Structure 1
């Protein structure tokens, strides 16, 4: 299993085991409740998913690059849903 797949698996396990739904996970990590996950909030999600601290920033940046379709340097709920759907489909 490659690094990307391993990280995605960890995120999926976190969301499945600790939350009743992806929406609950999004709300939990959206600490300022603005409806968007900023890079710092994504890094907290990755930390909770046991993603190594050394690469957490890089992974957060790549997630933003891949899923931030509104180009506002955040991931909103709709973008998060797309990411989760892809995660569930790919793993």
Structure 2
């Protein structure tokens, strides 16, 4: 399993073990309630997923780069849902 797969797997485990739905996870990490996840909010999600501090900044940037479809450097609900669906499909 690559490092990317390990990270995505940890995110999936966090969401499925600690939240009833992906929507609940998104709302929990959207601290300012703007319906978008900032880089800092994503870092908090990664911390909860037990991603090491050294990697959190890099991974949060990569997640934004990979899933931010509208180019605002934030992850909105549709982008988050797309990422979760991709993670779920990849782990089967």
TM-score (norm 1): 0.99
Match of 2:75 in 1: 75
Q: How many Å separate the matches in 2 of 1:8 and 1:80? A: 13
CA shift digits 1:46-82 (9 cap, x unpaired): 0000001001000000000000001001000000000
Match of 1:60 in 2: 60
Q: How many Å separate the matches in 2 of 1:3 and 1:38? A: 23
Q: In structure 1, list runs of 5 or more residues that go unmatched.
A: none
Q: In structure 2, list runs of 5 or more residues that go unmatched.
A: none
Are residues 1:38 and 2:14 paired? Answer: no
- Runs of 4+ in structure 1 over 4 Å off: none
TM-score (norm 2): 0.98
Q: CA RMSD in A?
A: 0.3
